[in-house]
Amino acid sequence: MAAATLLSSINPANITETKSKATYSIYLNWLQNHCNDITSQDSTTLYGFAYQKPMIAGEYVYIARNILGLYLNDDLNNSVINSQTSARKSNHSNTMTEGISIYPNPATNLINISMSDNDNRKINFIIYSIDGKVIKQGSLQNKTNNSIDISGMKSGLYYLNILGNEVVLLNEKIIKQ
């Protein structure tokens, strides 16, 4: 794999670069394992990184959080707002949280979102890249069935947050093929 070769050629100059390299190495191994479970040692490493302050520690904090499926509020002592800890591969419904179903995952062109009951809440979505950048966001118009067009996104791992009245209802790993 070209990415692994490139990663192995990097010689970190400081602790932040060393931790970044370790995080990317875990991420590549996880992708090569078809996004199945990571080892307990890698999980421990990622959790150690994920609870650091990103403004001090660096971007590897966001990457560790994304791999683990953690959404942390850095203003509230890293309290966990919502978490999902594994990406699922299926053409059927993958996730049922707060009555929300996301499918298919992985997806090529559309991500479908079904909601059983949203209590007339304003429902929004945000798709983040693995490094925490907002890729796409918008409102879900239909009360029960919605689709998000992801055809213009590059292949890879992303995070889909579903928010109701500005509260995170779901944080799901999605894979764009």
163 burial type by CB count under 10 A (0-12 exposed, 13-18 middle, 19+ buried): buried
What is the rounded CA–CA span in Å between residue 175 and residue 11?
30
Tens of pLDDT, residue by residue over 45-56, are 887 887 777 777
50 burial type by CB count under 10 A (0-12 exposed, 13-18 middle, 19+ buried): buried
What is the rounded CA–CA span in Å between residue 104 and residue 111?
6
136 burial type by CB count under 10 A (0-12 exposed, 13-18 middle, 19+ buried): middle
Tens of pLDDT, residue by residue over 122-170, are 788 889 887 778 899 998 876 678 899 999 999 988 888 888 776 777 7
Q: Which domains does the chain have, with CATH numbers?
A: 2-83 (no CATH), 100-176 (2.60.40.10)
